[in-house]
Amino acid sequence: MFTVLSTVESLERLNKNTFLLKVKAPQLATAIKPGQFCNIKVSDADYPLLRRPFSVCYTDGDTVYFMFDIQGEGTRILAEKKTGDQLDILGPLGNGFNTEGDFEVAVLIGGGIGVAPFPLLIKHLEGKEILTFVGARNSEQLIKWGMRNILVATDDGSEGFNGNVIAYFQSEANKLENKKIRIFGCGPNPMLKALQKVAEKKYDCQLSIESAMACGFGICQGCPVKKSDGMGYYLVCKDGPVFNSDQIVIE
Ligand SMILES: Cc1cc2nc3c(=O)[nH]c(=O)nc-3n(C[C@H](O)[C@H](O)[C@H](O)COP(=O)(O)OP(=O)(O)OC[C@H]3O[C@@H](n4cnc5c(N)ncnc54)[C@H](O)[C@@H]3O)c2cc1C
Ligand code: FES
Per-residue pLDDT, 77: 96
Q: With bands split at pLDDT 50, 70 and 90, how would you rate the model's confidence at 144?
A: very high
With a cut of 90, say whether residue 163 has pLDDT above it: yes
Which letter, b or e, does each residue of 79-95 get, where b requires 16 or more Cβ atoms within 10 Å of its Cβ?
bebeeeeebebbbbbbb
Percent share of the chain, pLDDT over 90? 96
Distance, in Å, from the CA atom of 181 to the CA atom of 177, rounded to the nearest integer, reads: 9
Q: How far away, in angstroms, is 116 Cα from ligand 1 center?
A: 12
Biggest distance spanned by C-alpha atoms of the chain: 55
The CATH T-level fold of domain 105-208 is: Rossmann fold (3.40.50)
Strands 181-186 and 37-41: unpaired
How many CB atoms neighbour CB 76 within 10 A? Answer: 12
Give me the phi and psi of 139, to 5 degrees please. -65, -30
Mean pLDDT of 93-109: 97
Q: Which ligand is in closest contact with the Cα of 211?
A: 1
Q: With bands split at pLDDT 50, 70 and 90, how would you rate the model's confidence at 44?
A: confident
Q: Which ligand is in closest contact with the Cα of 56?
A: 1
Mean pLDDT of 23-30: 98
3-state secondary structure of 148: coil
Per-residue pLDDT, 50: 85
Q: How far away, in angstroms, is 214 Cα from ligand 1 center?
A: 11
223 CA closest ligand 2 atom index: 4
For residue 232, give the nearest of 243, 240, 224 by alpha carbon. Answer: 224
Distance, in Å, from the CA atom of 163 to the CA atom of 128, rounded to the nearest integer, reads: 27
Per-residue pLDDT, 148: 96
93 CA closest ligand 1 atom index: 1
What is the residue with the minimal CA distance to atom 32 of ligand 1?
72
Instruction: Please report, for the chain, the start and end positions of each structural domain, with discontinuous segments joined by +.
Output: 2-93, 105-208
Q: Is residue 8 within 8 Å of residue 40, measured between CB atoms? A: no
117 CA closest ligand 1 atom index: 8
Mean pLDDT of 203-224: 96
Looking at domain 2-93, does it have CATH number 2.40.30.10? Answer: yes
Order of strands across the sheet that contains 37-41: 52-55, 37-41, 86-93, 2-13, 18-24, 63-69, 58-60
Mean pLDDT of 136-159: 97
Percent share of the chain, pLDDT over 70? 100
The answer, yes or no, to whether any atom of ligand 1 lies below 6 A from the CB of 42, is no
Per-residue pLDDT, 130: 98
Q: Which ligand is in closest contact with the Cα of 69?
A: 1
User: Which CA distances in Å does 209 have to 31, 193, 225?
Assistant: 22, 10, 9
Mean pLDDT of 32-55: 92
Distance, in Å, from the CA atom of 154 to the CA atom of 138, rounded to the nearest integer, reads: 5
With a cut of 80, say whether residue 47 has pLDDT above it: no
Distance, in Å, from the CA atom of 99 to the CA atom of 121, rounded to the nearest integer, reads: 8
The answer, yes or no, to whether any atom of ligand 1 lies below 6 A from the CB of 210, is yes
Per-residue pLDDT, 202: 94
3-state secondary structure of 239: helix
pLDDT in tens, 125-138: 999 999 999 999 99
With a cut of 80, say whether residue 238 has pLDDT above it: yes
How many CB atoms neighbour CB 61 within 10 A? Answer: 9
With a cut of 90, say whether residue 29 has pLDDT above it: yes
**pTM for this prediction:** 0.96
The answer, yes or no, to whether any atom of ligand 1 lies below 6 A from the CB of 74, is yes
216 CA closest ligand 2 atom index: 1
Q: With bands split at pLDDT 50, 70 and 90, how would you rate the model's confidence at 70?
A: very high
Strands 161-162 and 150-154: parallel
Distance, in Å, from the CA atom of 18 to the CA atom of 202, rounded to the nearest integer, reads: 34
Per-residue pLDDT, 199: 96
